[in-house]
Amino acid sequence: MKMNSINHKIAARAVLAALAMTAASGSAHGQDRIDGYRKWSWGENVGWMNWRDAGTHGVRVHDGFLSGWVWAENVGWISLGDGTPGASGGTKYGNASGADHGVNVAPNGNLAGYAWGENIGWINFSTFTELGAFGKQAKLNASTRRFQGYAWGENIGWINLDDNANFVALRCAADYNDDGLSDILDFLDFMQDFADCDASAMPCGAYGFPDLSADGFVDILDFLDFMQVFADGCP
Ligand SMILES: [Ca+2]
Ligand SMILES: [Ca+2]
């Protein structure tokens, strides 16, 4: 174990009391991946779209924006953003030019901005003006941890995030090893990555993201975050 990480851990313990409420509330998550079973949207003219399986380039949900690639079986790759938004101090995509395009997530969950399909052009996620009156704007529902509503592709029409059987949901954080179950193996696999990764860059370890708090190192706060999500379980 490196000295600086030991210092990190000592420092973390010192501030633990002050941060315990934050950790317990589960509000310190950095980024979420897409669930292994609930990863599909439907394009009326382009068929199924997989939000998850581009490996390390799969879709990620950050605080305030999305990143990564969707694979559409009939029209290829769609970029939701490169993960480094350039507007508002790096907290959102400006969408004023193609160089800083991407999908933003408002505090109320409404999506906005543009995705780019290599074969299909722009996809507009800012559908509140047209669909807000019906509650069908594209959005991320924080309570159900799934996407809902509709986006609009300039060349492909409506993209449906609203189907009740096939939709895109955030991975349950308690399922650390991503096998669809929340059980003791997740605890053990988290502990292994926790021990292996320390101050390493993410992804690290067998399952990639023991730095739940996304603060750049793996310490007691991540352990507490994981204990909380593990206790919360999966739906
Ligand atoms: Ca599991
Ligand atoms: Ca951390």
Ligand 2 geometric centre to CA of 131 (Å)? 39
Q: Which ligand sits closest to the CA of 234?
A: 1
pLDDT value at residue 25: 35
Write out the H or E segment, with its range, that includes residue 148.
strand 146-148
CB proximity list for 81: less than 8 A, separation 6 or greater: 65, 66, 67, 68, 93, 101, 102, 103, 113, 115
Q: Which ligand sits closest to the CA of 177?
A: 1
Ligand 2 geometric centre to CA of 4 (Å)? 14
**Using an 8 Å Cβ cutoff, are 174 and 146 in contact?**
no
What is the residue whose two structure tokens read 């501030």?
15
pTM as predicted = 0.72
pLDDT value at residue 114: 98
Ligand 1 geometric centre to CA of 102 (Å)? 31
What is the residue whose two structure tokens read 């160089």?
99
Q: Which ligand sits closest to the CA of 190?
A: 1
Q: Please state the φ and ψ torsions of residue 30, each to the nearest 5 degrees.
A: -85, -55
Ligand 1 geometric centre to CA of 176 (Å)? 6
Ligand 1 geometric centre to CA of 36 (Å)? 11
pLDDT value at residue 4: 52
Ligand 1 geometric centre to CA of 190 (Å)? 10
What residues pair up with 111 in beta bridges, in sequence order?
105
Query: With a cut of 50, which residues of the chain have pLDDT below it?
Result: 1-3, 6, 9-29
For CA atoms 31, 35, 41, 47, the dihedral sign is positive
Give the whole-angstrom CA distance, residue 78 versus residue 58.
11
Q: Which ligand sits closest to the CA of 221?
A: 2
**Using an 8 Å Cβ cutoff, are 57 and 69 in contact?**
yes
DSSP category for residue 223: H
pLDDT value at residue 18: 35
Give the whole-angstrom CA distance, residue 84 versus residue 100.
8
pLDDT value at residue 42: 97
Ligand 1 geometric centre to CA of 172 (Å)? 9
* Three-state secondary structure call for residue 37: strand
Write out the H or E segment, with its range, that includes residue 157.
strand 157-160
pLDDT value at residue 124: 98
Ligand 1 geometric centre to CA of 178 (Å)? 5
